[in-house]
Amino acid sequence: MTSVQLGLFHPNTPLDGEIERLVLAREDESLNYTSSLNAAITVFHEYMRRQGFTDNTIKAFGGDLNMFARYLGPNKPVGEVSTRELENFMNYLRYQRGAPCSAKSYQRRLTSLKVFFNFLFERNVTTLDPAAPIAHQPAITPLPEILNAAQITRLLEVTRAMLHAARSDARPHLLISMLLCTGIKKSEAMSIKFNDLDLALPDQPFVYIRYDDPRRWHKERKLRLPADFRPTYEMYLAQYQPRERIFECTPRNLEYVLTDAAQLAELDGKVTFETLRWTSAVRDALAGVRDDFLRQKLGLSTITWQDASEKIKRLAARPM
């Protein structure tokens, strides 16, 4: 069985994947068909900041859009930008600019334009999306490692055996089963506090993934935990006696937990936080979890999801 994503739990947040459209309502009113590229890029920059995009993403997208504004002219009305002008700009990047443009940089710049003009179109700033007709073929990047079904079974057999060993240790099973079920990141696992758990129903435990930074609130979500989480958690509390957070150790300590379990399962080097996150996502995809739910379950923005979803589809096409 795989976990099923519930709706985001943050107060007044919709459950249908429309999170990004709510943040900038007032600022959208300042844009219209005749607004300049510079003005629209400024509003889009603020949108990215409010949405909690990483500094690297904001810098990269901003640089790409500023380059486009210089190419067409910063005062060009956004409603007058045509598909042909976008195609000419992409052709300029590849053949005329005089500076190397790698395939990865080329595709990212096209992504920047697509996301920007889709942002304007969805908010009725423009009547058409001039970037939509341009074919986007993402640069092929190496796929992440995932565990197959036999490896998952072997790993969980090892962690369950550790629960009942002479020197019982509940932490490996608590951690690994939770990561396989939820697909959360290392930083999110490290941040879980006692009051983030909902164990009211023994056979339906949940965890709330919370963020203190308001810019990250769109990543907050409620996730189902493994069915055996509660008894494992009670054993873990008796053994480790944490005071506030579940895992009161360093991230490196938890990495050692994964490494040791992997060695016992004869999976050396194959069990990391990233491996378990991708494995969880692929299992959900194979189980038929919808893309919009899976994106929210992983806490990904619509932009990051474009690359992640392609990788998940490619991984899901392989035998598990």
Identify whether 16 is part of a domain: no
Write the CATH number for 170: 1.10.443.10
Do 157 and 67 belong together in one domain?
no
Do 211 and 292 belong together in one domain?
yes
Strand-by-strand arrangement of the 197-198 sheet: 197-198, 206-209, 221-224
Work out the end-to-end distance of the chain between its first and last CA atoms, rounded to an integer number of angstroms.
Answer: 14
Amino acid at 8: L
Identify whether 298 is part of a domain: yes
Are the C-beta atoms of 280 and 180 separated by less than 8 Å? Answer: yes
Do 184 and 116 belong together in one domain?
no
pLDDT tens string for the chain (320 positions)? 444 333 333 333 332 333 233 333 344 558 998 999 999 999 999 999 888 888 888 999 999 999 999 999 999 999 999 999 999 999 998 888 877 777 788 888 999 999 999 999 999 999 999 999 998 765 566 889 999 999 999 999 999 999 999 999 999 999 999 999 999 999 999 999 999 999 999 889 999 999 998 878 888 999 999 999 999 999 999 999 999 999 999 999 999 999 999 999 999 888 999 999 999 999 999 999 999 999 999 999 887 887 899 899 999 998 77
Identify whether 209 is part of a domain: yes
Identify whether 51 is part of a domain: yes
Determine phi and psi for 183, rounding to 5 degrees: 70, 20
Do 107 and 155 belong together in one domain?
no
Please tell me whether the overall predicted TM-score, pTM, comes out greater than 0.85 for this model: no
Do 84 and 182 belong together in one domain?
no
Q: Would residue 220 be called left, alpha or beta, if left means φ above 0 and alpha means ψ between -120 and 50 degrees?
A: beta
Structure tokens at 82: 């045509």
Write the CATH number for 115: 1.10.150.130
| Final residue before a domain boundary, out of 72, 107, 122 | 122
Identify whether 49 is part of a domain: yes
Strand ranges inside the chain, DSSP E:
197-198, 206-209, 221-224
For 25, 76, 104, 131, the CA distances from 40, given in Å and listed in that order, are 14, 10, 25, 15
- Closest CA relative to residue 218, chosen from 43, 60, 56, 47: 47
- Closest CA relative to residue 172, chosen from 193, 157, 153: 157
H-helix or E-strand spanning residue 107:
helix 103-122
CA atoms within 13 A on the CB side of 78: 29
Do 84 and 218 belong together in one domain?
no
Do 114 and 233 belong together in one domain?
no
Task: Report d(CA 47, CA 23) in Å as an integer.
Answer: 7
Do 115 and 228 belong together in one domain?
no
Which domain, by its residues, includes 51?
31-122
Do 311 and 172 belong together in one domain?
yes
Identify whether 22 is part of a domain: no
Do 297 and 167 belong together in one domain?
yes
Task: Report d(CA 231, CA 247) in Å as an integer.
Answer: 17
Identify whether 11 is part of a domain: no
Identify whether 196 is part of a domain: yes
Do 298 and 157 belong together in one domain?
yes
| Final residue before a domain boundary, out of 77, 106, 122 | 122
Quote the number of domains for the chain: 2
Do 168 and 253 belong together in one domain?
yes
